[in-house]
Amino acid sequence: MYHSPSRLSDKARRKVGEGLNNVLADGLDLHSQIKVAHWNIKGPHFAALHPLFETFAVALAGFTDEVAERAVTLGGMAFGTSRHVAKHSRLDEYPQETTKDLDHVQLLAERFDIFLDSLREARALATKHEDDDTVDLLTSIIEAFEKNAWFLRATLDN
């Protein structure tokens, strides 16, 4: 662990950093999957979903940057190469041949749920180690992605 301005113990910073890197792997994978959906979507909902997916991708890019920077601020490292993400992401591979608009919505909704689980696990770890700042960061991301997941589920009417 590197020196950190955090008052948390090295053990706490290490554990929280591991949780953040799990979120980072899932978030970077999800970002690339959202972009695949954005690029390949076709169908009657194209005009609404194409820009919505881009909005999700842009927001997620900002969030993953904040997560990575928090891991480093805690004295750890941020791991995010495509090979690392492929090895550590909990998301299923995205079926890149998908084109139908509502199929993309279903696939992304499922992946948003997995990403939200990853965020909640990392937040629980930060809570356990009394890292209120990381809890706040993760809570803000959870709030945003719960809303995004709701947009997808509302489109599917489920």
Mean pLDDT of 124-139: 98
CATH number of the domain to which 102 belongs: 1.20.1260.10
pLDDT of residue 84: 97
Q: pTM, whole model, 2 decimals?
A: 0.96
Quote the number of domains for the chain: 1
**3 part of a folded domain:** no
d(CA 151, CA 128): 31
pLDDT of residue 25: 98
Confidence of residue 110 (pLDDT cuts 50, 70, 90): very high
Q: What separation, in Å, do the N-terminal and C-terminal C-alpha atoms of the chain show?
A: 45
Distances (CA, A) of 100 to 37, 44, 63, 153, 155: 9, 9, 28, 16, 13
**5 part of a folded domain:** no
pLDDT of residue 75: 96
Residue with tokens 């992946």: 111
**139 part of a folded domain:** yes
**1 part of a folded domain:** no
d(CA 157, CA 77): 41
Could you give the 3-state DSSP secondary structure of residue 96?
coil
**30 part of a folded domain:** yes
Task: Look up the domain containing 66 and give its range.
Answer: 10-156
pLDDT digits (tens, 9 = 90+) for 41-74: 999 999 999 999 999 999 999 999 999 999 999 9
**2 part of a folded domain:** no
Is residue 22 over pLDDT 80?
yes
**4 part of a folded domain:** no
Distances (CA, A) of 79 to 20, 25, 104, 119, 158: 10, 8, 28, 16, 35
**26 part of a folded domain:** yes
